[in-house]
Structure 1
Amino acid sequence: MNVRKIIGWNLRKLRVERGLSQERLALAAEIDRSYVGRVERGSENVTIDTLDAFAAVLGVSAAELLIEPPKGARVPSPLSAGRKPKAG
């Protein structure tokens, strides 16, 4: 797996675990939403500053985004589509 795919895989996994949409992650990291999608697909070459911004929002070190997933690991499932219902 090339490093762009590894970053994308980890970014999606961590984002989904935290219940963040691509849009929410992008807003918090001050990055364009479509860029987040391209990073997750492994089609963008990410700068260190961008990697650091993603890591800060996700509450991990930038190094964690570079760890190769275990062999046979499944691609993280997407979040369910649509808005979350309002509380109360």
Structure 2
Amino acid sequence: MAPPSGPVRAPEADGAVGARIKAARREAGFTQQTLAAEVEVSRQTIIAMETGDYAPSVYLAIKVARALATSVEALWG
């Protein structure tokens, strides 16, 4: 059976993870574009993480947390 097409939904549907990412990004003084460049993804990927439409790989989650000077657990925990 083929996997479903479309975005990978983050497990937390209430948007809390996305809100934490967005708040940490703003606190760090980053725009979506700046954070995207820092972690080497597209701005659309950052938008999708902030809206809960994309659950990043562990590697990307670590890069985002480091760029925002926080922990993975603080953002996704």
TM-score tier by shorter-chain length is: 0.7 to 0.9
1:36 corresponds to which of 43, 46, 51? 46
1:72 corresponds to: none
User: Does 1:10 find its partner at 2:20?
Assistant: yes
Per-residue deviation at 1:7? 2.4
Runs of 4 or more consecutive aligned structure 1 residues displaced over 2 Å after TM superposition:
3-7
Task: Name the structure 1 match of 2:72.
Answer: 62
SS in 2 for 1:36: helix
TM-score (norm: length of structure 2): 0.76
Aligned residues: 67
Q: Determine if contact 1:29/1:53 at 8 Å carries over to the other structure.
A: yes
Equivalent residue letter for 1:30: E
Q: 1:39 to 1:2 in 2, by over 3 A?
A: same
Q: How far did residue 4 of structure 1 move?
A: 7.9
Q: CA RMSD in A?
A: 1.9
Query: For residue 23 of structure 1, what is the aligned residue in structure 2?
Result: 33
- Alignment partners' CA distance in 2, 1:11 and 1:23: 14
Helix, strand or coil at the partner of 1:9: helix
